[in-house]
Amino acid sequence: MLIGQRGVGKSTLLVQHAVERYGLAGKFLYLSGDFFQLVDRGLYHVADRFFAETAGACLIIDEVHRYPAWKQELKNILDAFKSKQILISGSSSLHLTEGSDTTASGRGSTSDLQRRRAVYELRPLSFREYLGFKWALSRGVVSVPELVEQASTLATSIVQSLAERNTTVLREFEDYLTRGYYPYFLDAPTSYLSRLEQTIETVISQDIALVMSLDATSVAKLKRLFAHIASSKPMTPNINALARELGATRDTIYKYIFYLESAGLIRTLFADKTKAGHILNRPDKICVSNPNILNIAVDARIASEFRGAARESFFVGNFSPKDIAVAKDGDFRVGDHVFEIGGPNKTAKQLPHESRAFVVKDGVEWPSGRTLPLWMFGFLY
Concatenated DSSP letters of 123-147: PPPPHHHHHHHHH--------HHHH
Beta bridge pairs of residue 30: 60
Going residue by residue through the chain, which has 381 residues, state the pLDDT in tens, using 9 for 90 and above: 999 998 999 999 999 999 999 998 889 999 999 888 898 899 999 999 999 988 899 999 998 988 988 889 999 999 999 999 999 998 765 554 554 433 444 444 555 677 778 889 999 999 999 999 999 999 999 999 999 999 999 999 999 999 999 999 999 999 999 999 999 999 888 999 999 999 999 999 988 998 788 999 999 999 999 999 998 888 889 999 999 999 999 999 999 999 999 899 999 999 998 887 778 889 999 999 999 999 886 554 445 678 999 999 999 999 999 999 999 888 999 999 999 999 999 888 777 777 799 999 999 999 999 999 999 999 999
What's the CA dihedral at 131, 177, 4, 229 to 10 degrees?
170
Give the residue range(s) of CATH 3.40.50.300 domains in the chain: 2-121
Summarize pLDDT for 352-371 with one digit per residue, the tens. Answer: 777 799 999 999 999 999 99
Interatomic CA distance for residues 153 and 151, integer angstroms: 6
Of 249, 319, 321, the residue nearest 278 (C-alpha): 321
pLDDT of residue 80: 94
pLDDT of residue 249: 96
pLDDT of residue 331: 93
Strands annotated E in the chain: 2-3, 28-32, 58-62, 85-90, 102-103, 106-107, 120-121, 266-269, 285-288, 324-326, 332-334, 337-342, 357-361, 371-373
Interatomic CA distance for residues 328 and 272, integer angstroms: 11
Interatomic CA distance for residues 144 and 125, integer angstroms: 18
pLDDT of residue 103: 40
Beta carbons within 8 Å of 366's beta carbon, 6+ residues apart: 152, 155, 159, 373
pLDDT of residue 101: 39
Count of Cβ atoms closer than 10 Å to residue 304 Cβ: 8
pLDDT of residue 104: 40
Q: Which CATH superfamily is domain 2-121 in?
A: P-loop containing nucleotide triphosphate hydrolases (3.40.50.300)
Give the residue range(s) of CATH 1.10.10 domains in the chain: 192-299
CATH number of 192-299: 1.10.10
Interatomic CA distance for residues 282 and 326, integer angstroms: 13
DSSP classification of residue 207 = I
Measured in degrees and rounded to the nearest 5, phi and psi for residue 29 equal -125, 130
pLDDT of residue 234: 85
How many Å is the maximal CA-CA distance in the chain? 71
Contact 329/352 with Cβ under 8 angstroms? yes
Whether this model's pTM surpasses 0.75: yes
Interatomic CA distance for residues 311 and 308, integer angstroms: 5
Contact 350/370 with Cβ under 8 angstroms? no
pLDDT of residue 36: 87
- As a whole number of Å, the CA-based R_g of the chain is 22
Count of Cβ atoms closer than 10 Å to residue 291 Cβ: 25
Summarize pLDDT for 279-294 with one digit per residue, the tens. Answer: 888 999 999 999 999 9
